């Protein structure tokens, strides 16, 4: 079997390179008919969640993917991917008007967390850190206009924290992280995902 | 534990290149009002470029074209949650300082505005915020990267609705990359001299077979098929300037171009997306115009 990488927009090629390094076969999900190919894992890459969420709906992929995740298919969501997974999404603080429902999610809504979008502000707030990741050890973390997890529901558990904020969570076979393990050359988070 | 303020210049440069990576496979749209920004975001823009006049109107109005009013840019920042970019004049580092002060996500040091300096580009390594710059060939692209650009776009010929220059620049950059990749190690020094760029960047292109930063298409993209053409030629995403808000049905055209960038190699999808878009922007052929903006800043 293979890992499907959502390739609607964003940094999907970087995840594909990580999967190549780990010898995991993969293919890209761009439209509904790609769902007919056999896959038993899913990667949701970084990018713009509003773009990816809208295209997921429009392409008719949102409901089939949600059903497969709820049935237990392992999924790794990074940054925008975490936002797509979150059961609740709160808008970003800088925004003054009321955004349309299409732009604020929730989208897949399978992960029992509340995610704060653009939680560190604009690009000047982007930063790099190293922090403990549960069962993995200290890993490098790049936060790029990143979200964080403002609330962890009873079904989810925290995996990592930076500056007191939860930045990685797990719920069964779902892993959601606010940073970009695909960018820093450290394969351990992907290895953990492939072992699910 | 690391905090934002601890970020080193090297980490900042890496984070700035990585923001461009997150924009890949996306469409960056020119907008002049908060209302247009909202339409762009709802249509699936990966980022917006805030400017007072779109290139077609700059071309029509003539005269000196400058950085936009910060108040107008802030209005757009408060309206959308996607990244907001803005343009400064080539070499005008004070305009760039102003844009950094209002926390812009990306600065476009742009030939669309009137150049402020006919010799020097901005030393972009002195800034915390990232820059995107236009390039017509590999030498220009690598010179901008040496100056600190975190993202490159083709110059194309803005405000014309004529894609010919974007095609020319994308083909040239990519054929020059293939050439550099084919060279022997001991030929890279001479190639660096020929391209007028640091040998370290030529070696990076040689080893990786690509630019060290993300490369988008820009200039003259007006239809879904234009966007698909640029993606198939190797663009990693597309800027659309005048093409959307100079057309008959901006929201529909914007959605169609977003769809075309995602499914650029699926002609049936491009066909469906191209139906009933209303009037495209009125094009001006390259040889009908007096000011070639792509000639600005080399």
The complex scores an ipTM of: 0.93
Interface test with A, best of B21, B77, B228 (most A CBs within 10 A): B21
Residues of B in contact with A129 (CB under 8 A): 1-3
pLDDT of B9 > 70? The answer is yes
The verdict on whether A24 is a catalytic residue reads no
pLDDT the model gives residue B61: 81
B241 is in an annotated binding site: yes
- Domains belonging to chain B, first-starting first, are 26-164+212-273 (3.20.20.70)
First to last CA, chain A: 14
Cα first-last separation, chain B: 43
Strands A111-116, A86-90: pairing kind: parallel
Q: What's the pTM?
A: 0.94
**Which residue, A184, A196, A149, is CA-closest to A18?**
A184
Q: Do A50 and B82 touch (CB under 8 A)?
A: yes
Arithmetic mean of pLDDT over chain B? 92
State the greatest distance between any 2 C-alpha atoms of chain B, in Å, as a whole number: 59
Q: Which residue segments constitute the domains of chain A, with CATH numbers given?
A: 3-194 (3.40.50.880)
Of residues A97 and B218, the one with the higher pLDDT is B218
Q: Nearest CA to CA, how far is A11 from chain B (Å)? A: 5
The string over A5-15, giving b where at least 16 C-beta atoms fall within 10 Å of a residue's C-beta and e elsewhere, is: bbbbbbbbbbb
| Partner A, chain B 54-83, Cβ-Cβ below 8 Å | 77-83
pLDDT tens track for B216-244:
999 989 999 999 999 999 999 999 988 89
Closest approach of B187 to chain A, Cα-based (Å): 29
Q: Which member of B6, B80, B262 has the closest CB to residue A55?
A: B262
Q: Do B24 and A55 touch (CB under 8 A)?
A: no
Residue A191 CA, distance from chain mean position? 16
Q: Which of B5, B252, B262 to mutate to test the interface with A (most CBs of A within 10 A)?
A: B262
Q: Is the confidence at residue B118, as pLDDT, over 70? A: yes
A83 touches chain B (CB under 8 A): no
What span, in angstroms and rounded, lies between the C-alpha atoms of B192 and B203? 9
């Amino acid at each position: 079997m293979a890992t499907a990488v959502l390739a609607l927009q964003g940094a999907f090629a970087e995840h594909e390179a990580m999967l190549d390094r780990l010898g995991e076969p993969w293919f890209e999900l761009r439209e509904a008919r790609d769902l007919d190919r056999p896959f038993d894992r899913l990667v949701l890459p970084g990018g713009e969640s509003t773009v990816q969420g809208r295209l997921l709906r429009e392409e008719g992929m949102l409901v089939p993917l949600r059903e497969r995740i709820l049935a237990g298919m392992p999924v790794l969501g990074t940054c925008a991917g975490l936002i797509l997974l979150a059961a609740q999404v709160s808008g970003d603080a800088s925004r003054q008007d009321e955004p349309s429902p299409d732009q604020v999610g929730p989208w897949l809504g399978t992960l029992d967390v509340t995610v704060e979008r653009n939680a560190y502000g604009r690009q000047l707030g982007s930063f790099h850190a190293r922090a403990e990741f549960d069962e993995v050890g200290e890993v490098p973390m790049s936060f790029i206009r990143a979200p964080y997890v403002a609330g962890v529901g009873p079904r989810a558990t925290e995996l990592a924290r930076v500056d007191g904020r939860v930045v990685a969570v797990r719920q069964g076979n779902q892993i959601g992280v606010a940073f970009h393990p695909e960018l820093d050359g450290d394969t351990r988070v992907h290895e953990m995902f492939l072992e699910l | 534990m690391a905090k934002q303020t601890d970020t080193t210049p090297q980490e900042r440069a890496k984070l700035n290149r990585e923001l461009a990576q997150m924009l890949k496979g996306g469409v960056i749209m020119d907008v002049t009002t908060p209302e247009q920004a909202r339409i762009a975001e709802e249509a699936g823009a990966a980022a917006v470029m805030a400017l007072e006049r779109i290139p077609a109107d700059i071309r029509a109005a003539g005269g000196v074209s400058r950085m936009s009013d910060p108040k107008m840019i802030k209005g757009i920042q408060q309206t959308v949650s996607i990244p907001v970019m803005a343009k400064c004049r080539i070499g005008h580092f004070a305009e760039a300082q102003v844009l950094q002060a209002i926390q812009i996500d990306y600065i476009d040091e742009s030939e669309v505005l009137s150049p402020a300096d006919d010799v020097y580009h901005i030393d972009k390594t002195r800034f915390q915020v990232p820059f995107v710059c236009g390039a017509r060939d590999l030498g220009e692209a690598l010179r901008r990267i040496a100056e600190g650009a975190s993202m490159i776009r083709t110059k194309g010929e803005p405000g014309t609705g004529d894609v010919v220059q974007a095609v020319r620049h994308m083909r040239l950059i990519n054929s020059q990359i293939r050439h550099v990749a084919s060279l022997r190690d001991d030929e890279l020094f001479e190639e660096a001299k020929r391209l007028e760029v640091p040998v370290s960047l030529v070696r990076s292109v040689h080893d990786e077979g690509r630019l060290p930063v993300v490369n988008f298409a820009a200039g003259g993209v007006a239809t879904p098929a234009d966007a698909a053409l640029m993606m198939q030629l190797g663009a990693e995403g597309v800027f659309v300037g005048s093409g959307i808000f100079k057309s008959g049905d901006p929201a529909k055209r914007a959605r169609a171009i977003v769809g075309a960038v995602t499914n650029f190699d699926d002609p049936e999808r491009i066909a469906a997306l191209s139906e009933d878009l209303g009037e495209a922007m009125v094009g001006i052929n390259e040889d009908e115009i007096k000011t070639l903006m792509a000639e600005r800043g080399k």
